[in-house]
Amino acid sequence: MSTATLHHTATDWGIVAVFAVVYLGMFLGGLPRLKLDRSGVALLGAIAVIGLSGLPVEDAARSVDLPTIVLLFAFMVVSAQMRLGGFYGAVTRRVGAMPLSRNGLLAALIVVSGALSAVFSNDIICLAMTPVVARLCLQRGLNPLPFLIGLACAANIGSAATLIGNPQNMLIGSVLQLPFGGYVRQALGPVLIGLGFLWVWLAFGPGSGSPHPPSTGSGQAKPLPLAGDGVMREAVDAEDPPFDPWQTAKGLAVAGALLLIFLFTDWPRDVAALVGAGLLLLSRRLHSSRVLGLIDWPLLLLFMGLFVVNHAFETTGLAAQAVAWLGTQGVHLADPGPLLVASAVLSNLVSNVPAVMLLLPHLGGSGEQAGVMLALVTTFAGNLLLVGSIANLIVADLARQQGIEIDWKRHAITGIPVTLATLAVVWGWIRLVA
């Protein structure tokens, strides 16, 4: 064996080691004894594989799916516009002022959360709506837990309805070139059924009639570790801005125009969204620094770092060999059953975005249905555990600041049955339309 071969083999195993450490960081939310979050781990992983392999920076940059990054950035701008315009808080307060029963109010909040998340991202909706929902429940003497857990679960479920509702859907739509309208037609059924089941469980299931939960008292409990998982720390700390009709109208006009473009034209989604974001940044009242200050830069870094690390790992050939071996055992990742199991398990081990990045390279040529299932399952699986979704952690953190404790047990009472039911719906729906 030549020295070059030995060097190449050593390099491959070095890349494998970096890959393993990076995904350990995805699982743990960081690395022990180091002040690193998931974004920092991904960034340092990318630097390490570039240094180990001698990969030119230009090649590393080409491994990043730029349309996904651009689309994600553009919709962060749109969501920031809506948040600064006070739209989310105003909608929540309007719903809370309606003369509805407890279960009627719960249904309305689930519908609003799910619908808004399909366009403006689930994390953003949870950031904006959680404090308002918590105060609303406390003022009306309602147990806030079903409403807050329902908000998080509905935001996750609703975000699966479109290819712009969450980061992993943007990535799947970009890489697999899924048609926007075609995806919505296939995903809407499972999403609506999932939201309906969520309401039934929260309205009539265990704990639906429980009294007001005990408060944590001071409301000053230590927040959960959100930053670095793609959460805008500035937005968490910001007060709910007052409603601004003009700024809200601008944001809604751009968002509506983009949806029409996505549904009825062949324009590249990333380009159209970037133009829309540029129009919103042209403002005489909202300084661009305020809008850009709400951009989730760590999430963008997380994406780019994982793109580079995964690309380097693919060059070792080990991933392809593992998939080929599974194929000889009769397990094909693109088939509905293995894909559902792999997507659900990986989403709860390493989070949904890294899970999608791991699975996407092995779905090439598998058709639109594999992409739809991957998007639905990785999103719905986020409801299983409190730490399974950033939206869940946002709600838990902001609820704690209001003196309301949502621990993993309380979340699991709803999260586990809702996740299992929605995954069963996806399985049945895909089999039905296949």
The answer to whether residue 3 sits within a structural domain is no
Instruction: Quick: pLDDT tens for 227-268.
Output: 344 444 444 444 578 899 999 999 999 999 999 999 999 999
**Would residue 156 count as lying in a domain?**
yes
Q: Is residue 29 within 8 Å of 229, Cβ to Cβ?
A: yes
Query: Phi then psi for 216, rounded to 5 degrees?
Result: -75, -10
The per-residue pLDDT for 239 is 54
Residue 336 domain-assigned (yes or no): yes
Alpha carbon distance 144, 134 (integer Å): 6
- 347-377 residue pLDDT tens: 988 888 899 999 998 886 667 889 999 999 9
| pLDDT at 204 exceeding the cut of 50 | yes
Which pLDDT score is estimated for 121? 85
Q: What is the mean pLDDT of residues 52-75?
A: 92
User: 268, 260, 291: which is closest to 278 by C-alpha?
Assistant: 291
User: Is there a contact between 202 and 146 (Cβ–Cβ < 8 Å)?
Assistant: yes
pLDDT at 144 exceeding the cut of 70: yes
Q: Which two structure tokens, joined as six digits, stand for 150? A: 């329902």
Please report the pLDDT score of residue 415 as a whole number.
Answer: 94
**215: domain range?**
65-433
* pLDDT band, very low/low/confident/very high, at 119 (cuts 50, 70, 90): very high
User: Does residue 427 sit within a domain?
Assistant: yes
Distance CA 89, CA 203 (A): 24
pLDDT of 225 above 60? no
| Number of domains comprising the chain | 1
- Looking at residues 130-157, what average pLDDT do you find? 92
CB 76 within 8 Å of CB 291: no
Give CA–CA dist 424/206, Å, rounded: 21
Q: Residue 287 pLDDT more than 70?
A: yes
User: Does some domain include residue 151?
Assistant: yes
**Residue 211's pLDDT is what?**
53
Confidence of residue 434 (pLDDT cuts 50, 70, 90): low
Q: Which residues pair with 404 in a beta bridge?
A: 215
Residue 43 lies in a domain: no
- What's the confidence (pLDDT) of residue 224? 40
Residue 19 domain-assigned (yes or no) = no
Write down the pLDDT at residue 268. 94
Q: Given this model, what pLDDT does residue 216 score?
A: 46
Whether residue 217 contacts residue 403, with contact meaning beta carbons closer than 8 Å, is answered with yes
Residue-level pLDDT at 333: 83
Q: Enumerate the β-bridge partners of residue 215.
A: 404
At 229 the pLDDT is 44
Question: Is 167 domain-assigned?
Answer: yes
Q: What is the distance between the alpha carbons of residues 345 and 347, in angstroms, rounded to a whole number?
A: 5
Question: Stretch 278-304: mean pLDDT, rounded?
Answer: 91
- Record the pTM: 0.87
pLDDT band of 334, cuts 50, 70, 90 = confident
For the record, the structure tokens of 280 come out as: 């919103």
361, two tokens: 């390279």
114 token code pair? 């799910």
Q: What is the pLDDT of residue 222?
A: 41
CB 163 within 8 A of CB 170: yes
132 and 240 Cβ atoms separated by less than 8 Å: yes
**pLDDT higher than 70, residue 87:** yes
The full 3-state SS of the chain, as one line of letters, equals CCHHHHHHHHHHHHHHHHHHHHHHHHHHCCCCCCCCCHHHHHHHHHHHHHHHHCCCHHHHHHCCCHHHHHHHHHHHHHHHHHHHCCHHHHHHHHHHCCCCCHHHHHHHHHHHHHHHHHHHCHHHHHHHHHHHHHHHHHHHCCCHHHHHHHHHHHHHHHHCCCCCCCHHHHHHHHHHCCCHHHHHHHHHHHHHHHHHHHHHHHHHCCCCCCCCCCECCCCCCCCCCCCCCCCCHHHHHCCCCCCCHHHHHHHHHHHHHHHHHHHHCCCCHHHHHHHHHHHHHCCCCCCHHHHHCCCCHHHHHHHHHHHHHHHHHHHCCHHHHHHHHHHHCCCCCCCHHHHHHHHHHHHHHHCHHHHHHHHHHHCCCCCHHHHHHHHHHHHHHHHCCHHHCHHHHHHHHHHHHCCECCCHHHHHHHHHHHHHHHHHHHHHHHHHHC
If you average pLDDT over every residue of the chain, what do you get? 87
